[in-house]
Amino acid sequence: MSFKTQNPATGEILEHYSSLSSEEIEHALALGADAVPIWSNTPINSRCTRVERLAEILRVRKDELAGLITLEMGKLFSEAQGEIEKCAAACDYYAENGEAQLEDEMIESDASRSLITYQPLGTILAVMPWNFPFWQLIRAAVPALIAGNTVVMKHASNVPQCALAIDAIFREAGFAEGIFVNLMIESSQVEAVIRDPRIHGVTLTGSGPAGRSVAATAGSVLKKSLLELGGSDPFIVLEDADIELAVQHATMGRFLNCGQSCIAAKRFIVVEAIADQFIDQFKAVVGALQAGDPLDSTTTLAPMAREDLRDELHQQVESSVALGAKIVTGGEIIERSGYYYAATIIDHVSVGQPAWSEELFGPVASIIRVKDEREAVAVANESEFGLGGVIFSGDSERGERLARQLESGAAFVNGMVKSDPRLPFGGIKQSGYGRELSYLGIREFVNIKTLWIR
């Protein structure tokens, strides 16, 4: 079996890579296991120093690495540069704060001394997606490594060059062989790796079906798992909102990364009183997005990552329209080489349409009209997903009150949902469980151990 690099902007196949044999997988897992006692006993300040070096390398090689992202999954080059910068910032955060976040915590009890200590689990398998090929891996791997675990990465099959580059920069940063391992395998081989006794936990960012499969396998062998899955984030615009500000964030929140993000705003739930005004302004901005070469700084709409993803998205739009939704702008495959889809807004989305209940993973904004704030929150919470949510209101206290009612792992008032190393990130319901980032993220893959001493 093999992997291939295919340029989404042209459809051209650039490279093929062979997946690892059984013997090569065995060797890779052995490397990770052998490195555990060495790495876990390395002083934490030394682990942090390597992560500082990783940040330096990311910044120095930003344009080169961003070019790989654009080449393999089609992200606008400027956005890919931003992804690398964000990775470096996350490294900075954990290098500066990781040691304090893992310090022993003293607890009063009937002992002379009692405390909580945070100890590494062993080797963590990271199953990573293609849409943010560097960021998703860095945010999962860096805190696990600082905590003293080793990491084995199974990256998405359509970004093998990114996977190889990630492996290379970890080596360059001083992570010895086995501390970070690139496992170039097929999805069908993941189950056996999870079951391997040398793997002590698994983190996955990906689709719902993939998450359920990984969770079932990890659960069957009683291993810790963390899942960050899909989302259909609500973006609520109330009648007292700053419409211009809401449109600005709606455009970024929906069309960043060509809409291929779990935390992208997807369902725009707009109070009827200002719906036409919001849609008119939104259409003017979205209709001006220009498809083109993602390496060209004038391009504002990138291709989708794969042809099958584009075709599936188009089918969801067409099915929604057949059931009563109305095209405001877009709604078509762009006739040019590569996997481009027009920036799209569909209005009058209602129950029974794919745009109402399914995740639309691409440049399509679904408008749902509601009569008031109560209906807005009810519609937002009807979704099976629970990753993020947004409230736009001229009254921040009102916005906070409603944000607290959203069934989601994060809720933002008057701003788009985004991840930040300082804040925990993750979802509920079908969007997964567990938290990445912040002090909670570094404690996901540790043994939270009680010590009682007389």
- Domain of 291 in residue numbering reads as 233-420
Mean pLDDT of the chain: 97
pLDDT at 4: 83
Catalytic residues: 228, 262
Tokens of 153: 């990465």
Q: pLDDT class for 175, splitting at 50, 70, 90? A: very high
Q: What is the 3-state secondary structure (H, E, C) of 303-340?
A: CCCCHHHHHHHHHHHHHHHHCCCEEEECCCECCCCCCC
Average pLDDT over residues 60-88: 98
Instruction: Find out whether 289 and 255 touch, Cβ atoms under 8 Å.
Output: yes
Residue 269 lies in a domain: yes
Looking at the fold, whether 52 and 111 belong to one and the same domain comes out as: yes
Do residue 445 and residue 341 come from a single domain? no
Residue 2 has pLDDT above 80, yes or no: no
Q: For the chain, what percentages of helix, strand and coil (3-state, to nearest 5) are there?
A: 45, 20, 35
The pLDDT tens digits of the residues spanning 5-28 come to 899 999 999 899 999 999 999 999
Query: What CATH number is given to the structural domain containing 163?
Result: 3.40.605.10
Residues 70 and 199 in one domain: yes
CA distance 396 to 416: 15
- pLDDT of 363 higher than 90: yes
Does the structure show a pLDDT above 80 at 160?
yes
- Side chain identity, residue 7: N
Domain count, the chain: 2
Question: What would the mean pLDDT of 239-265 be, rounded to a whole number?
Answer: 98
Q: Are residues 341 and 221 in the same domain?
A: no
User: Residue holding tokens 């994060």?
Assistant: 410
340 and 277 within one domain: yes
The Cα–Cα gap between 250 and 267 comes to 10
400 and 448 share a domain? no
In a shared domain, residues 395 and 439: no
Contact 262, 425 (CB under 8 A): no
**Can you list the positions of beta strands (E) in 196-250?**
201-205, 224-228, 233-237
Check residue 3 and give its pLDDT.
82
Q: Which segments of 102-196 does DSSP mark as H helices, in order?
A: 135-146, 160-172, 190-195
Residues 12, 128: one domain? yes
pTM: 0.97
How much of the chain exceeds pLDDT 70, in percent? 100
d(CA 81, CA 136) in angstroms, rounded, equals 15
Give me the DSSP letters along 22-83: HHHHHHHHHHHHHHHHHHHTS-HHHHHHHHHHHHHHHHHTHHHHHHHHHHHH---HHHHHHH
Q: Which two tokens stand for residue 435?
A: 């938290």
- 208 and 264 share a domain? no
SS3 123: strand
Please compute the mean of the pLDDT values over residues 44-63 and round it to a whole number.
98
The pLDDT tens digits for 406-434 are: 999 999 999 999 999 999 999 999 999 99
Whether the per-residue pLDDT at 77 is higher than 90: the answer is yes
- DSSP-derived letter for residue 341 is B
Question: What is the structure's pLDDT at 5?
Answer: 87
* pLDDT confidence bin for 1, thresholds 50/70/90: low
Asked whether residue 178 falls in the same domain as residue 261, the answer is no
pLDDT value at position 64?
Answer: 98
225 and 114 belong to one structural domain: yes
Q: Over pLDDT 90: what percentage of the chain?
A: 98
Residue 127: what pLDDT? 98
Residue 426 belongs to a domain:
no
Whether the pLDDT of residue 32 is over 70: the answer is yes
Q: What CATH number is associated with residue 362?
A: 3.40.309.10
Are residues 413 and 437 part of one domain? no
